[in-house]
Amino acid sequence: MIRHQAVMMSSARLVYPNRPIGQKLFLPDHLSSFKLPHSKARHPMAPKIAIVTGAASGIGKHFAGVLVGSGDAYRLALADINEAGLRDVFVPGDRVRLHRLDVRSVQDWQALIDDTLQAFGRIDYLFNIAGGGRLGYLLDQPVENVDFVIDVNLKGPVIGMKLVAGIMAQQGGGHIVNVGSLAGLSPTPGNCLLYTSPSPRDGLLSRMPSSA
């Protein structure tokens, strides 16, 4: 069984410049009891294999830091388009792989998946956290910005979901968690492109269990 979950988070509550990497995240009340389920395909004590996108900054960096600091519980493939920033924060090793990932690129996704499988043998979790926006009012936005926001926040996660879900189906199960910004639910002036892009993705997620 492949499980999907959508989580909306505010970077203002989760990201603090002086918070050490690996320190516990401050979660909203309705997420404070959130726990990652065990995959039925493995012994519950076996390390879980997780891909985390957007791991070089913001919510993704802190979430990845928590998993890195969890001891032997996880084997991680951490990915971000900013590879230099990723390597400034995390050190690759036997438990952690670092990858440059442009979520818009099928080739980048496939390379990430192939390396994760070669290194760790399976994928238990995909955490789609990477995202981006272009500030400005709609009439002032060039068409290129529309393409960028839709491609990064909608098409990118869907490409990853499709490719990783295929692997999870073959191995008998897995978990996909899509993390979005609360800005997608609470429109603010100058943020029109960001809060339009999550809506189609959320619609897809609500139907994913029956359509995957």
Q: Which single residue is written with the structure tokens 């990723």?
A: 86
pLDDT at 30 over 50: no
Mean pLDDT over 71-78 rounds to: 94
Higher-pLDDT residue of 95 and 153 is: 95
CA distance 40 to 26: 29
14-18, 135-139, 153-157: least confident range: 14-18
pLDDT at 20 over 90: no
At 76, is the secondary structure helix, strand, or coil? Answer: strand
CA distance 113 to 53: 12
Higher-pLDDT residue of 184 and 143 is: 143
Q: From 55, 131, 128, 60, select the one nearest 86 (Cα to Cα).
A: 55
This prediction has a pTM of 0.73
Query: pLDDT tens digit string along 146-155?
Result: 778 888 888 8
CA distance 42 to 48: 9
CA distance 12 to 177: 20
- pLDDT score recorded for residue 151: 87
Q: From 89, 167, 98, select the one nearest 126 (Cα to Cα).
A: 167
Query: Per this entry, what is the length of the chain?
Result: 212
Residue 31 pLDDT class (50, 70, 90 cuts)? very low
